[in-house]
Amino acid sequence: ETLESRTLEGIARYIKDGKAKKIVIMTGAGISTSAGIPDFRSPETGLYANLARFDLPHAESVFEISYFRNNPNPFYMLAQELDPSKFRPTITHSFIKLVHDKGLLLKLFTQNIDCLESRAGVPSDSIIEAHGSFATASCIECKSRYLPEKMLEVVRKGSVPQCEDDTCRGLVKPNIVFYGEPMPESFSQNKTLPADADLAIVMGTSLTVYPFASLPGFCGEGVPRLLINNEQVGSLGSRPDDVLLLEDCDSGVRKLAKALGWLEELETEWAK
């Protein structure tokens, strides 16, 4: 059974046989690159390889809270480019929606801040946005809310969005988790949830940023873990029941959907 389940067909059979009723999905920037949003670490196209123009101490500084306090401009420039309203979900996002519609999604853990999972129709109570999102914004000092659309409007004009409380006037940023900031409570409270899953699917992440990268390790021994990614990452591949599909996410999920007999439904869902 172990050897047999080490293939995509084996995973599909496992799902079709009703053995996977609680699927945990873990995603990163690679599931949104085909939507036109760059990932972080791909050597030429990744965001971190293209930040030279900002003259940062190091690439990650753009997402460091201490750096932002002194110089928010590089982040704001990036924020305009990453404005989530400009992008449309990929077929990989629709695949997650389909898993949810089949009643099989235990939880989606995403590192992405682009809100494309929600746009694809995955309900918010099924999503853990581990690194926050662009959906809300607030003052970094007094934490009061600020409309995200308004923030982008101010940023587009080349100004710095500031807290509306005159006694505060702190900097406003979207509620994405910067380096140096705590993880959201929703993540901390649910991080061991993968232990309850009977199948894990990891897609489009380099699994380099902790604590998110520790999630697949919470899956029980003997629980199949499927990686759909351009490259092998983390400890995926170290267990006998790991299955590695080292290719583009969109073509990988199409293959899985085909093996499941879901392909037509998936294409219809994506075309909506």
Confirm or reject binding of residue 124 to ligand OAD (CB under 6 A): no
Question: By CB under 6 A, what part of segment 157-186 binds ligand OAD?
Answer: 177, 179
Considering only 197, 199, 233, 245, the residue that binds ligand OAD (CB under 6 A) is 233
Scanning 33-41, 95-103, 141-149, 162-170 for contacts with ligand OAD by CB under 6 A, the matching segment is 33-41
**15 annotated as ligand-binding:** no
**30 annotated as ligand-binding:** yes
Scanning 10-18, 134-142, 162-170, 206-214 for contacts with ligand OAD by CB under 6 A, the matching segment is 206-214
**205 annotated as ligand-binding:** yes
Cα torsion angle, 214, 217, 223, 225, sign: positive
Tokens standing for residue 146: 């600020």
Shortest distance, position 232 Cβ to ligand OAD, whole Å = 9
Q: Quick one: 60 or 164, whose CB is closer to ligand OAD?
A: 60
Catalytic residue status for 58: no
Considering only 141, 164, 248, 265, the residue that binds ligand OAD (CB under 6 A) is 248
Binding site for ligand OAD (CB under 6 A): 28-30, 33-34, 39-42, 46, 60, 63, 111, 131, 177, 179, 204-206, 208-209, 229-231, 233, 248-249
Q: Residues within the annotated binding site? A: 29-33, 39-41, 111-114, 139, 142, 163, 168, 205-206, 229-231, 249
Positions marked catalytic: 131
